[in-house]
Amino acid sequence: MGVLQQTFPLSLIYFSLVFLSGVILGSIRVPYLQPLIGARYAELFEMPIMLIIIWQAAQVTVWNLESGQRQPKGSWWKTGLRFMTSTPVLVGVLALVWLLAVELGTSVIAQVSWGTGSWWDGIVQYFTGRDVVAGPVFGMVLLAYAAMPCIAWLVQTQQDTDKLLWDFDESLAEQEDYCSR
């Protein structure tokens, strides 16, 4: 399977998992938390939960990568690190594009349908309507959202390598026990 044939469905899965979780958390945050603690603190309270969801969604997405892309340790020099991590990077970037397209589209539709301005006002409102404290935190979470599939890929690859080494050590220990009898 080619890189792009695998990237589009995985980016849509990753986007869907995170976006639907954000919709559910937002539907709890806006009517229940914002009246109690205010918009800033409600958004800041939601961010760590979203980071956990992003990490879990990235792991699920990386688990669905084709196993043929995981090469043995010696082949890193042949294929290069760029090829090995290109799919997770593309998944994160495309998922960020999907997320921004949906959020900007929603903002534009809301601005135009309420008759309060043009479509450009909806885009401006999306970026400038954020809280002074929660806005930059939201931007950092978006960057983490884009980078998380690559981070999950590297963590999973390291865990696979460690597991292979551990299994290899166990098989050597069994052979040594067998020979010493």
pLDDT in tens, 129-160: 889 999 999 999 999 999 999 999 999 888 87
In this structure, are residues 84 and 69 in contact, taking their beta carbons and an 8 Å threshold? Answer: yes
Pairwise CA distance, residues 173 & 159, whole Å = 21
Higher local confidence (pLDDT), 36 or 3: 36
24 CB neighbour count, 10 Å cutoff: 11
Report the pLDDT averaged over residues 53-70. 82
pLDDT of residue 111: 83
- Residue 173 binned pLDDT confidence (cut-offs 50, 70, 90): low
Q: What three-state secondary structure class fits 81? A: helix
Share of the chain above pLDDT 70, in %: 77
- State the virtual CA torsion across 157, 163, 168, 172 in degrees, nearest 10: 160
- 1 secondary structure, DSSP code: -
- Out of 62-76, 111-125, 164-178, the most confident range is 111-125
Please determine, for residue 37, whether its predicted confidence score (pLDDT) is greater than 80. yes
pLDDT of residue 78: 45
Please determine, for residue 48, whether its predicted confidence score (pLDDT) is greater than 50. yes
pLDDT of residue 170: 61
